[in-house]
Amino acid sequence: MTRTDPTADDFAYDELAYLEENASEAGLPWTGPPQVERVTVAVAGTRRVSALRWGTGPPELVLVHGMAQNAHTWDTVALALARPLLAVDLPGHGHSDWRPDRADDPHHLADDLAAALDALGVGATVIVGMSLGGLVTNALAARRPDLVRRLVAVDITPEPSESAARDIHDFIAGPQSFPSFAEILERTVQYNPTRSVASLRRGIVHNAVRQDDGSWQWRYDRGERDPDRPRPDRAGLWADVAAIAVPYLLVRGGAPGSVVTDAGVAELLGRRPATEVVTVEGAGHSIQGDRPVELAAVIEQFGFG
């Protein structure tokens, strides 16, 4: 065992130590560690938003993860794209601070994302958002069109499958703490049948923290929300979509677990007839984890082809 093995007694978290494993599993060439650095900026005063900056040039893409995920969910996609990009930790996720008001709706998060991109000097790019991140990027494109050149929504519309979304909610709402890595991995595998065990191990290492007693706790914010705060309704989320003026691509999973419904696609096409829709076979909801190389190819073609 090595110090990067989460079951090792001397485990030490090194967030960039797993990239060669990502590349190997995906069949991508490995010529040495890519240029990746963690950057952090202040928004709304002193609250911090963190991100991974890939490459040395101005970012050509911004990648936004889903609920209870973090920037590392895009690692294999970023390796496959091999372009300068920014993978953001949304507030309450990864290495970003939690919002004191626990506002986790797309509009509040879009405002934070815009502030972070402004602070980092990121101009109009291809914006890719998965699940919650897709709703956030919709809101960003509607509110700050100057930041969005093209938009890719990964397995999300404002009208998701209630049964598939319930399964995701049940996983996220499960236990906060697990006595061992084996137990947190077992539950994660149970809820993610389309993913390899190796990729789920890496995901947990990036999304959970080992405590001094050897137990593991999820890293993302699971705090109580204000019950009186109104939640975004579907009409408002669809209004964001209707306000977007840039080319728009929906990438949906073709396997069980996808939350995109045919009705949602029909509604999207009714509001935006020019929308492109691509299905990635063999992928459930988290296409970036199930079929990352295929997703990268779709993004490359849409964003730069």
- Quick check: is 286 catalytic? no
Catalytic entry in 89, 111, 112, 155: 155
19-304, what's its fold?
Rossmann fold (3.40.50)
pLDDT in tens, 106-126: 999 999 999 999 999 999 999
Q: How far apart are CA 23 and CA 47, in angstroms?
A: 33
Cα-Cα-Cα-Cα dihedral of 288, 170, 156, 142, to 10°? -110
Lay out the sheet containing 148-154: strands in order across.
Answer: 36-43, 47-54, 85-88, 61-64, 125-130, 148-154, 248-253, 276-280
Catalytic entry in 50, 96, 131, 258: 131
- Quick check: is 155 catalytic? yes
Q: What is the CA radius of gyration of the chain?
A: 18
**3-class SS at 217?**
strand
User: Which residues in the chain show pLDDT less than 70?
Assistant: 1-2, 223-232
Catalytic entry in 65, 107, 108, 285: 285
What would the two tokens of residue 20 be? 């060669």
* The model's pTM: 0.96
As a 3-state breakdown, the chain gives helix, strand, coil percent values, each rounded to 5, of: 40, 20, 45
234-243 vs 106-120: helix crossing angle, rounded to 10: 40
Within the chain, residue ranges assigned H as helices are 19-26, 75-81, 106-120, 132-143, 162-172, 181-191, 197-207, 234-243, 262-271, 287-290, 292-304
Q: Are 88 and 63 in contact (CB under 8 A)?
A: yes
pLDDT value at residue 212? 93
Q: How many C-beta neighbours within 10 Å does residue 16 have?
A: 14
Q: Where are the domains of the chain?
A: 19-304
pLDDT value at residue 97? 95
